[in-house]
């Protein structure tokens, strides 16, 4: 995609999101009274994200991360990546290919452009600001940009440790350097296939207050990771799933996960799904606010 096309895409996205703001703001009222306090926290995070509402301290972090992302977005450095995920939307990778990984070559700027857009990264940041998790984990580090948003939110909260899992050593190395350059000493990268590294992380770091499941957009894998996390999640925790509308399989995975009896609040934003697990809440609440 050339620079002109990127500008056009950004303009279309901005116009679309502006059009969505108004109905979204109206629907946010449903997340507040008389629902649980955790639903109101989600409403606050979404509203702040829609308005790009940042405190001076938050803006300092967001600007630093933005400068880093801009530099990565211009990097022509070529890296080899062993990808254990599903690949692109139209790729038909076999179970064996996902098991062993597919070796691909990309420029850093290509990987950067595939990362979470600013809007969704900011939403993750705001959710952590609201819920203040002590232990957060992420599946799918990539260059560490979304991880930087999440770990910096913990820094501002003055509490929290962030562990992010990445299958490709080449990406993990870049992410570590990026965290170091941002002085995010609370962020730690674990390298290896999720099925190999996740059990150890859960055992060592639990109970987990916050999890962002990304990096492997496969129905079976997504539900398996969630179920693997369940015994290690704290009594009150937040689990966020990326790309729940990526495929029909991911929609099925989202449906199965949100119906779990421990999930008390399920929020479908079309692009991502947010689950709040809270043993003190008896009723179950489901909301849908499409933001794409």
Structure confidence by residue, pLDDT tens digits, 38-52 = 999 999 999 999 999
Q: What is the pLDDT of residues 172-183, one digit of tens each?
A: 999 999 999 999
* Partners of 82 in the β-ladder: 103
- Predicted local distance difference test score (pLDDT) of residue 254: 97
Reported for 67-74, long-range contacts at CB under 8 A and 24+ positions apart, including other chains, are 68/145, 68/148, 68/178, 68/181, 68/182, 69/112, 69/115, 69/145, 72/108, 72/109, 72/111, 72/112, 72/143, 72/145, 72/178, 73/109, 73/112, 73/113, 74/109
| Range scoring the smallest mean pLDDT among 8-17, 52-61, 68-77, 207-216 | 8-17
The chain-wide mean pLDDT, for the chain, equals 88
> Is the pTM of the predicted complex or chain greater than 0.95?
no
CB atoms closer than 10 angstroms to residue 217: 23
- Predicted local distance difference test score (pLDDT) of residue 100: 66
Judge whether residue 9 has pLDDT over 60: no
- Predicted local distance difference test score (pLDDT) of residue 164: 98
Judge whether residue 23 has pLDDT over 90: no
Reported confidence tier of residue 87, pLDDT bands at 50, 70, 90? low
- Predicted local distance difference test score (pLDDT) of residue 46: 94
- Predicted local distance difference test score (pLDDT) of residue 97: 64
Domain extents for the chain?
28-69+113-288, 78-110
Judge whether residue 111 has pLDDT over 80: yes
Buried/exposed code over 125-153 (b: 16+ C-beta within 10 A; e: otherwise): bbbbbbbbbebbbbbbbbbbbbbbbbbbb
Q: Are 222 and 214 in contact (CB under 8 A)?
A: no
230 phi and psi, to 5 degrees?
-45, -50
- Predicted local distance difference test score (pLDDT) of residue 116: 84
Judge whether residue 13 has pLDDT over 60: no
52 phi and psi, to 5 degrees?
50, 45
How many distinct helices (H) and strands (E) make up the chain?
Answer: 11, 10
Higher pLDDT, 140 or 13: 140
The share of the chain scoring above pLDDT 70, in percent, equals: 84
CATH class of 28-69+113-288: alpha beta
**Both tokens assigned to 204:** 């060592």
Judge whether residue 145 has pLDDT over 80: yes
Reported confidence tier of residue 217, pLDDT bands at 50, 70, 90? confident
- Predicted local distance difference test score (pLDDT) of residue 11: 37
Distance, CA of 84 to CA of 75 (rounded, Å): 24
- Predicted local distance difference test score (pLDDT) of residue 232: 97
Q: Can you tell me the mean pLDDT for 90-106?
A: 70
Reported confidence tier of residue 130, pLDDT bands at 50, 70, 90? very high
Q: Helices 56-72 & 118-131, crossing angle to 10 degrees?
A: 140
């Amino acid at each position: 995609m050339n620079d002109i096309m990127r500008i056009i895409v950004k303009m279309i996205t901005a116009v679309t999101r502006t059009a969505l703001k108004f109905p979204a703001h109206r629907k946010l009222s449903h997340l507040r009274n008389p629902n649980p306090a955790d639903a109101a926290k989600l409403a606050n995070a979404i509203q702040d994200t829609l308005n790009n509402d940042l405190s001076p301290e938050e803006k300092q972090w967001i600007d630093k991360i933005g400068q880093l992302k801009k530099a990565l977005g211009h990097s022509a450095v070529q890296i080899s990546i062993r990808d254990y995920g599903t690949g692109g939307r139209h790729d038909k990778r076999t179970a064996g290919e996902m098991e062993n990984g597919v070796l691909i070559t990309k420029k850093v700027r290509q990987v950067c452009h595939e990362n979470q857009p600013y809007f969704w990264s900011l939403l993750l940041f705001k959710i952590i600001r609201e819920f203040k998790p002590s232990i957060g984990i992420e599946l799918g580090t990539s260059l560490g940009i979304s991880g930087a948003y999440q770990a910096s939110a913990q820094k501002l909260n003055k509490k929290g440790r962030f562990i992010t899992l990445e299958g490709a050593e080449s990406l993990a190395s870049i992410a570590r350097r990026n965290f170091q350059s941002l002085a995010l000493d609370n962020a730690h990268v674990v390298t290896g296939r999720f099925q190999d590294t996740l059990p150890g992380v859960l055992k060592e770091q639990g109970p987990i207050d916050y999890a962002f499941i990304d990096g492997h957009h496969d129905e079976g894998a997504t539900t398996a990771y969630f179920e693997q996390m369940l015994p290690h999640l704290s009594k009150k925790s937040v689990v966020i799933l990326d790309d729940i509308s990526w495929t029909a399989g991911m929609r099925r995975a989202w449906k199965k996960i949100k119906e779990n009896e421990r999930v008390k609040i399920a929020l479908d934003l079309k692009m991502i799904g947010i689950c709040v697990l809270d043993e003190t809440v008896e009723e179950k609440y489901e909301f849908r606010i499409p933001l794409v």
